[in-house]
Amino acid sequence: VDIEAAKRAAAQEAVKNHFPDNPRFVGIGSGTTIVYVVQAIKELGKDLSRIGFVPTGYQSKQLVINAGLLPIEFDALPDGDMIDIAFDGADEVDEELNCIKGGGACLYQEKLVAMRSREFVCVADYRKLQSRLLTKWPTIPIEVEPKAARQVMSRLRVLGSKSPAGKGPFLREGAILKAGPIKTDQDFFIVDAPFPQPLLTSDDLERGAVANPLAGSWEVEELAREIKNINGVLAVGIFCGPTGPEAKAAAVIGGQRPV
């Protein structure tokens, strides 16, 4: 099945259905799907010259500049002004539109932009939509200050972070592209934290399900809060859905399976 075609379809659907008439600021996320979002914005045939496009890292900024759009850094936004809409990808999305993000290690600036936006549109092809988070995507990306990384990983193990095989959490390594850990656009590390069970939603709890953190079974918002409170953590790759603290409205546009 052509995954690129599904990403393109999701991006075109998201832009067609959500791009505002006269936005002042538009957030542009990171990853590969967002490339199709920028293409779809360009194909709208609108005058884009008066819109500030807020990037979520170096890759996103290059994408905006190479598309001939006007980048405006997040810290250059006028105080109090909101971003009209932000488009971004995700690694996995559940039925409540909670997202795992950070596969591209850009989660910190992505969350800054998402939480400053009136509308957050998550553009995700059919592979990403699962009933619960940590179904197919196995880990939660966490941006961590390097000196604290080992202490953060110890604390994550106490919170039950381990893969079904008992491994983890892991410091994200550069592998063939770089010896040693990768550094984010903030010069921090990424820790990927596996948990042995999919994350429960708040709806699950309302329906009587019981989280059991000691067994590594967490409710999504509670785990996000718990990880964010660990000393040395800058950002957690859990973006909660419309009922949660971050995204005001996240509309997941599932890509069509090409026939």
Residues designated catalytic: 110
In the region spanning residues 71 to 90, those forming contacts with ligand DER, defined by CB under 6 A, are 88-90
Contact 121, 251 (CB under 8 A): yes
CB of 255 to ligand DER, least distance (A): 11
CB of 85 to ligand DER, least distance (A): 16
The single residue among 9, 10, 107, 191 that binds ligand DER, judged by CB under 6 A, is 107
Contact 129, 169 (CB under 8 A): no
Q: Does 102 bind ligand DER (CB under 6 A)?
A: yes
Among the candidate windows 65-73, 99-107, 160-168, 240-248, which touches ligand DER by CB under 6 A?
99-107
The single residue among 8, 61, 101, 172 that binds ligand DER, judged by CB under 6 A, is 101
Q: Does 27 bind ligand DER (CB under 6 A)?
A: no
Which residue type is seen at 202?
S
CB of 250 to ligand DER, least distance (A): 12
CB of 23 or CB of 102, closer to ligand DER: 102
Q: Does 92 bind ligand DER (CB under 6 A)?
A: no
CB of 211 or CB of 253, closer to ligand DER: 253
The single residue among 23, 27, 29, 216 that binds ligand DER, judged by CB under 6 A, is 29
Q: How far apart are CA 227 and CA 156, in angstroms?
A: 7
CB of 172 to ligand DER, least distance (A): 12
Written as one string, the DSSP assignment of the chain is --HHHHHHHHHHHHHHHH--SS-SEEEE--SSHHHHHHHHHHTT----TT-EEEESSHHHHHHHHHTT-EE--GGGSPTTPPEEEEEE--SEE-TT--EE--TTS-HHHHHHHHHTEEEEEEEE-TTTB-SSBTSSS-EEEEEE-GGGHHHHHHHHHHTT---TTS---EEPB-GGGSSSB---TTS-EEEEEE-SSPBBPHHHHHTT---BGGGTB-BHHHHHHHHHTSTTEEEESEE--TTSSS-S-B--EEPPPP-
CB of 184 or CB of 217, closer to ligand DER: 184
Q: Does 143 bind ligand DER (CB under 6 A)?
A: no
On the CB side of 237, how many CA atoms lie within 13 Å of its CA? 28
Q: Does 193 bind ligand DER (CB under 6 A)?
A: no
The single residue among 84, 91, 119, 246 that binds ligand DER, judged by CB under 6 A, is 91
Binding residues for ligand DER, per CB under 6 A?
A: 29-33, 88-91, 101-104, 106-107, 110
